[in-house]
Amino acid sequence: MSPTVADRKSAPGSARIWGRRAALGLAMFWTALTALVVACVLLPQIPGVSPIATLLESFFSLHIAIAGVVGFIFAVCALQFGAGRVAAAAAAIALLATLGALIPLLFVIHAANLYGAKLSWLDQLRGVRKRAANVPIRTIRYAHADGKDLYVDIYAPTYPSPEKSPPVLMMHGGGYVSGKRSMFPDWSRWLSARGYTVFDIDYRLAPPPTWNQAAQDAACALAWINAHADEYHVAPDRLLIAGQSAGAGLALQVAYGLGDGTVQSSCGGVAPQPKAVFAIYPPDDFALGWNMNTKLVSLSARSLLQKYIGGSPEQYPDRYRAVSAIFHVRPGLPPTLIAAGEHDHLVPFEGHLELVEKLNQAGVPNVLIAIPYGEHAYDLYWGGFGAQITRHGAEKFLNQYLFVAEPHDAPR
């Protein structure tokens, strides 16, 4: 049957209704999503949701602002289709949410300018960038402890040099209860692309408590590197010790504890004193996490510390003192670079400020890279602004204290 005159007249009206519904639905979706994330980021005291929002902000700050713009555009389209007050309200909320999303972006841009970092907006959008493609040249057992084999992944410099390269002892995160070597290999690859030989290690995990074993395993790895320095063409007197999260806490504990006798190798040998420390969101004062009862999604500082240390600071004050870097600061410590998000819900940012103050009082060279609105593990989004700023700061720090003539085409 051919359409009637009434059908032909109603067709544009139906299309307009469907267009209005689609535009309004999309406007409300993108507006609500952006507004929720922005509200939880700017009001971090909202329980439960704020850590997730801050993590999203750490990874997708530019995407969130774009989502607000998309919501506003769809709301305007809905208005054109005659959606009325609901569309007008959605447009207003989308505009406010977009303006709110710009606040963290502006703070991050200011931080980049402060540290002299040139940001790539394209890398932030796509999340990845040109990465070093290095893979470990060898995986070797460096120790055997408590019935467990401990292995090291070795990343050779991308461009070999006749000079011995600085070795890097890299340690993974995981709250001292999980994880393994090369769990997140981006930093090991990035460093090896710059002329470093990276030794990415396992260490003993809790439970049972390993507060007096994990750092000792790291010192054992240092002794192993020292004993095999000629084989891998490295200079132990130019060693960098580094890590993320739990691994960063170990980096501080080992670098500061070797000299005062609180850390010794679990396998003997001679553990060389690190020349510099690179700690990415490290726990510097373990009692803070317990006392503040910090949590990030399903992770609880008290649960992790219960497994790693055995209990609370009141139960084991000596243990907390042994593992907390703030209690081992003294003149003569190696230069220290700390990078952390200012809105870290798991490792309190206050601990970094406390450590930096003590380092300054002791005359120890140090740099704190503070990422505005950054969450714990912000650098896992390798193309993100926080990761870009941290890489720039790390490069500047390492060139000052462990200079390596890196190739011009090394991935930034």
Do residues 281 and 207 lie in contact, with contact meaning Cβ atoms separated by under 8 Å? no
Q: What is the mean pLDDT of residues 256-275?
A: 95
β-strand partners of 138: 154
Question: What per-residue confidence (pLDDT) applies to 366?
Answer: 98
Neighbours of 149 (CB within 10 A): 10
Rounded to whole angstroms, the Cα distance separating 191 from 156 reads 10
pLDDT greater than 60 at residue 271: yes
pLDDT greater than 50 at residue 178: yes
CA torsion, points 229, 261, 336, 192, in degrees to nearest 10?
20
Average pLDDT, the chain: 90
Our measurement of the distance from residue 189's CA atom to the centroid of its chain's CA atoms, rounded to an integer in Å, reads: 16
Q: Cα dihedral sign for 375, 377, 383, 389?
A: positive
Q: Cα dihedral sign for 184, 351, 401, 378?
A: positive
pLDDT greater than 70 at residue 334: yes
Question: What per-residue confidence (pLDDT) applies to 229?
Answer: 97
pLDDT in tens, 280-320: 999 999 999 999 999 998 899 999 999 999 999 999 999 99
Q: What are phi and psi of 383, to 5 degrees?
A: -90, -5
Question: What per-residue confidence (pLDDT) applies to 404?
Answer: 67
Tell me the pLDDT band of 45, cut-offs 50, 70 and 90: low
Find all residues with CB under 8 Å of 278, minimum gap 6, and list them: 240, 241, 242, 243, 251, 337, 339, 394, 397, 398
Question: What per-residue confidence (pLDDT) applies to 4?
Answer: 53
pLDDT in tens, 385-400: 999 999 999 999 999 9
Taking alpha carbons only, the member of 227, 173, 234 closest to residue 203 is 173
pLDDT greater than 50 at residue 341: yes
> Strand 138-145 relative to strand 148-155: parallel, antiparallel, unpaired?
antiparallel
Rounded to whole angstroms, the Cα distance separating 14 from 11 reads 5
Q: What are phi and psi of 155, to 5 degrees?
A: -105, 115
pLDDT greater than 80 at residue 329: yes
Question: What per-residue confidence (pLDDT) applies to 231?
Answer: 95
pLDDT greater than 60 at residue 1: no
Tell me the pLDDT band of 84, cut-offs 50, 70 and 90: confident
Tell me the pLDDT band of 162, cut-offs 50, 70 and 90: confident
Query: Which amino acid would we find at residue 178?
Result: S
Q: What is the mean pLDDT of residues 344-358?
A: 97
Find all residues with CB under 8 Å of 167, minimum gap 6, and list them: 196, 197, 198, 199, 225, 229, 232, 234, 235, 236, 238, 239, 240
Tell me the pLDDT band of 6, cut-offs 50, 70 and 90: very low
pLDDT greater than 90 at residue 80: no
Q: What is the mean pLDDT of residues 147-165?
A: 92
Neighbours of 211 (CB within 10 A): 20
Query: Which H or E run includes 252?
Result: helix 246-260
The pair of structure tokens assigned to 372 is 């505005």
